[in-house]
Amino acid sequence: MIFTVAIDGPAAAGKGTISRAVADRFGFARLDTGLLYRAVGVLGGDPIAAAQGLCAQDLERGDLRTLEAGQAASRVAVIPEVRAALVEFQRKFARQSGGAVLDGRDIGTVICPEAEVKLFVTASAEVRAHRRWLEVNTSADAPSLAQVLAEVKERDARDMNRAEAPLRPAEDALLIDTTKMGIDEAVTAACDAVLAELKAATERSAKA
């Protein structure tokens, strides 16, 4: 069975947690596409060459979850040649047999506009900044909450206003706003959407 779940949204909205939960619940393969861009960003050198030569081992680096890696990812993601080099990898992953969940910023709009389920996970910049600050506030030189908020807003502006594949919900995406929503509630909403479409797909197949 080929079944794609596309999950998009800004940084620290909760799409990673939701995508993992959906993949575990339904036994789908999962790809955090942001890691592709983070890996390209932290590899340094020519980002186009880095994207073209990216391998699975590059996605296992221990420094891909830092704020610096996130900013680097956002910078290289605006380069059309970088995006082109990574698109085919993502599309092949998405349409593999057995189902797949991909989370990123342009999955439902550019990478997999044919995805069976499209979700857009968001939250206020303040809430997302606080979540990210809690993640990185583990050392004496950790950034302040104000710094993290400024970086979140800067990245939002860059991601939403870039010419190539800007961050925006697909027209047929289900919006999940986690500003005041608990993670269990958000996961339930996502899983319910997937389950409903799986049942519909099964019924269509039975009638064919």
Question: Residue positions in the annotated binding site?
Answer: 9-17
What the block records as the tokens of 52 is: 């073209």
The whole-angstrom separation of Cα 200 and Cα 124 is 33
> How many CA atoms does the CB half-sphere of 135 hold within 13 Å?
13
Strand 4-8 with 117-122, pairing: parallel
Angle between helices 80-94 and 34-43 (to 10 degrees): 140
Nearest to 159 by CA among 100, 95, 80, 75: 75
Annotated binding site for ATP: 9-17
Residue 198's φ and ψ, nearest 5 degrees, are: -65, -40
